[in-house]
Structure 1
Amino acid sequence: MGRTYGDITHREDDIMTTPTIMLIHGAFADSASFAPVTRLLLDRGFTVVVPAVPNRSLVGDAAYVRSIIERIDGPVLLVGHSYGGAVVTVAGAADNVVGLVYLAGYALEEGESLGELQGRFADSDLAAALVYTPFPQGDGEPGTDVSVEITAFPDVFAAGVDPQVTQVLAVSQRPLAAAAFGEAASVAAWRTKPGWGIVSAADHTINPDVERFGYKRAGLRRVIELDSPHLVMRSHPDDVADFIAAAAAEVS
């Protein structure tokens, strides 16, 4: 006997093997950045989890995400956007992760940092639009938050997205602690897990060649390019949802 969710009909035994889809946002964004794609995936009957990533450190953020993954009973397909790609590269080593999907993301090698990978390529427009703000850390030492200058946010981060939505996203950024740029990935989960990737070909936040290089090195199963700004899940939600659903079907 089957169950129908949205436009997909599943057999009972399929329900048991369809992975939970976990969407991991990146720097300068939060869980709401995935809202259109989350809605589309829910409408198709997927179980979706969209945690708020602290954006304090690569090691700490990956550990936090992994703790959520390991509380899930069953397989998990991890989807990481931008800095979230680095997070899923590390957190994806959890035993119940069955695949990794990168959206305009960093596919780091073990022992490599964001700064090292980015440093191999020409700077994007983001470099000139960053704002550095001190904040107090728990140990009493000052930290530095990195965010995108609000007036530059639409062109650099979210060109092509509804301007009214972009305004809200710009003033509700979740900054990334500067320390995260220099932390090395402790593991590269793509070495043992299948992966898929979308390149944002019109990206002004990450040089698209960074995405292409990382995906090729990781030997991802399928890579597509969209004429999209960095916030691809906002500018092309249907394409992104279709891509994630296809990856989920491969590992189900």
Structure 2
Amino acid sequence: MSTPTVVLVHGAFADAASFAAVVPELLDDGLSVLVPAVPNRSLVGDAAYIASVVRQVEGPVLLVGHSYGGAVITVAGTEENVVGLVYLAGYALEEGESLGELQGGFPDSDLATALVYRPYPVEGGPDGTDVYVDAGKFPAVFADGVDPAVVRVLAVSQRPLAAAAFAEGAPAAAWKTKPSWGLVAAADHTINPDVERFGYRRAGATVTEVDSPHLVMLAHPGAVTSLIREAVRATSA
């Protein structure tokens, strides 16, 4: 039996540590796990980076993407050794579709009025724009229900997303050829849960709903781990 390596892909406003409650459980299962740091500079560039990580893994890979990480695995998942996709409160984009286009078909979440924009230097060109969640609004919008002692650290240690990433169309949609699973965070104030439901339904994903805020891996790690285990079992050859 060939069991896939689980590659956990974080999203915007968080980093690899957002999987801290899930990783020990997966390791205790005897699974191989990787949690790379996503640059969060552009959808195409971030997907290319994750694809490069995937190519260096011997054997099959199960990609797990949270939030914006869902868009990243949608593109990177076309790598030959990817055997499945797991979306956690994530974006399952159609080929050619951008984050902004998918979100634009639904009412705004509370995130829309909680964003902060800051410039960052781009070598040889004009400054880019980084997007953060206002630290004061971060707990309610992003991590309601998570340990407040943890959230106060997360709020001031965000990994931002470049604004340009919101407008980039996905050059591929791996769910068209790979099995997928999707977790809807039904109490999500960062992404409208209907955006998650729509994307998963279109992808033909196996869907689970959890009454959770956006940062579901820390709020409900057991539900996340169970879904990943289900996908591992289904994709083990």
Equivalent position of 1:181 in the other structure = 166
- Aligned partner (choices 47, 65, 89) of residue 104 of structure 1: 89
The whole-number CA distance in structure 2 between the counterparts of 1:138 and 1:225 is 43
- Does residue 227 of structure 2 align to residue 232 of structure 1? no
- Indicate whether 1:62 and 2:53 are aligned: no
Summarize deviations over 1:180-199 as a string: whole Å, max 9, x none.
00000000000000000000
Give CA-to-partner distance per residue, 1:39-93, whole Å, 9 cap, x none.
1101111100000000000000000000000000000000000000000000000
| 2:151 maps to 1:166 | yes
User: Which residue is 1:246 aligned to?
Assistant: 230
Q: Which whole-Å CA distance do the structure 1 matches of 2:168 and 2:132 have between them? A: 18
Matched, 1:129 2:119: no
Equivalent residue, structure 2, for 1:77:
62
Structure 2: segments with no counterpart, 5+ residues: none
User: Within 1, Cα distance between the matches of 2:191 and 2:232?
Assistant: 26
Q: Distance in 2 between matches of 1:127 and 1:228?
A: 19
Determine the structure 2 residue equivalent to 1:198: 183
How many residue pairs are counted as aligned between the two chains? 236
CA distance in 2, matches of 1:134, 1:194: 39
Q: Calculate the aligned-residue CA RMSD, in Å.
A: 0.5
Larger Rg: 1
Give the partner amino acid of 2:211: D
Tell me which moved more, 136-145 or 101-110: 136-145
Letter in 2 for 1:210: V
Aligned to 1:7: none
Counterpart code for 1:242: S
Aligned to 2:31: 46
Q: Percent identity?
A: 69
What is aligned with 1:25?
A: 10
Q: For 1:15-49, what per-residue CA distance to the aligned partner results, in whole angstroms no more than 9, with x for missing partners?
A: xx000000000000000000110111011111000
CA distance in 2, matches of 1:88, 1:138: 27
Classify the secondary structure of the residue corresponding to 1:105: coil
- Structure 2 CA distance, aligned partners of 1:43 and 1:154? 30
Q: How far apart are 1:140 and its partner, in Å?
A: 2.7
User: What secondary structure does 1:154 align onto?
Assistant: helix
Match of 2:172, SS state, is coil
- Render the CA deviation track for 1:78-131: whole Å, top value 9, x for unaligned: 000000000000000000000000000000000000000000000000000000
Q: What is the rounded CA distance, in whole Å, between the counterparts of 2:104 and 2:66 in structure 1?
A: 19
SS of the equivalent of 2:37 reads coil
Distance 1:138 1:111 in 2: 28
SS at match of 1:196: strand
Unaligned runs of 5+ in 1: 1-13
